[in-house]
């Protein structure tokens, strides 16, 4: 394909200082903790729908970056099957 050699980095259009921005920062901080249960737990006093929305968009952006990285190196010929090992 005609993919650019640059890695795709999606822009986050969440205004700094907004409530959604604070939720995103909370999610980023807890994801790095190594405790997945804590990372996905709804923060006390937060709206479930807003929490899910912020995390869904961020999850999509992370998967999109991973996919972009993989497609820079893998083709149907070089990677006929995507796997993490023999199984």
16 marked as binding residue: no
Task: For the chain, give the number of residues.
Answer: 87
CA distance 36 to 28: 11
Report the Cα 36 to chain-centroid distance in Å. 14
79 marked as binding residue: yes
Annotated binding site: 74, 79
Annotated binding-site positions for Zn(2+): 74, 79
């Amino acid at each position: 394909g005609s993919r650019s050699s640059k890695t795709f980095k999606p822009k986050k259009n969440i205004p700094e200082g907004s409530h959604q921005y604070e939720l995103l920062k909370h999610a980023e901080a807890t994801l790095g903790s190594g405790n997945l249960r804590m990372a996905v737990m709804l923060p006390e006093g937060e709206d479930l729908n807003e929490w899910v929305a912020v995390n869904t968009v961020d999850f999509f952006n992370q998967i999109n970056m991973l996919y972009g990285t993989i497609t820079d190196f893998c083709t149907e010929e070089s990677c006929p099957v995507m796997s993490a090992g023999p199984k």
